[in-house]
Amino acid sequence: MAGDLRERVPLDAHTAMVGIHTGGVWVARQLHTRLGIEAPLGELDISFYRDDFTRIGMNPQVRPSQLPFSVDDRHIILVDDVLHTGRTIRAAMNELFDYGRPASITLAVLVERDGRELPIEAAVTGQHMELGEHEHVKLAGPEPLKLEINRAP
């Protein structure tokens, strides 16, 4: 993934990386180090931006987002662990735009799976998984990082 990002994104003073809680932050930490990005790593908790907030209620572990840099005119690398429906990424982009107007957003995900509900596509993907309707993949960690496939009852 780091090699693909080097080819797609200018890694200069105008580049910043943002991980989505929780698994996206774990993956972003690894990529941030490997790419040597100057800006500190940003972290988003998109709980209040989810479109299913009224149905699922408050996430018991809501954390404040931390963007220790200006988003304006930056090339943002947005990192998540699993891209499934696209709704988490939509929420993350909404939150990013509340902070400012980035020059670009490049999505990098560890796992892309089928089941998209929104027209969102990752520019960089670690791996693609085809899972059954009741199967879900989750990143466990942070040390060590491990993908787990769970089957819903």
Distance of alpha carbon 49 from alpha carbon 150, whole angstroms: 26
- What is residue 153's predicted lDDT score, i.e. its pLDDT? 72
Under a CB-based contact definition with an 8 Å cutoff, are residues 35 and 3 in contact? no
CATH of the domain at 106: 3.40.50.2020
- What is residue 53's predicted lDDT score, i.e. its pLDDT? 52
Range of the domain at 103: 2-151
- What is residue 52's predicted lDDT score, i.e. its pLDDT? 61
On the question of a cis peptide bond just before residue 15, with omega within 30 degrees of 0, the verdict is: no
Chain centroid offset of residue 69 CA? 17
**Number of domain units in the chain:** 1
The stretch 90-110 carries a mean pLDDT of 97
pTM above 0.85, yes or no: yes
Render pLDDT for 32-90 as a digit per residue (tens, 0 to 9): 999 999 999 999 999 878 676 555 555 556 678 999 999 999 999 999 999 999 999 99
The stretch 120-148 carries a mean pLDDT of 93
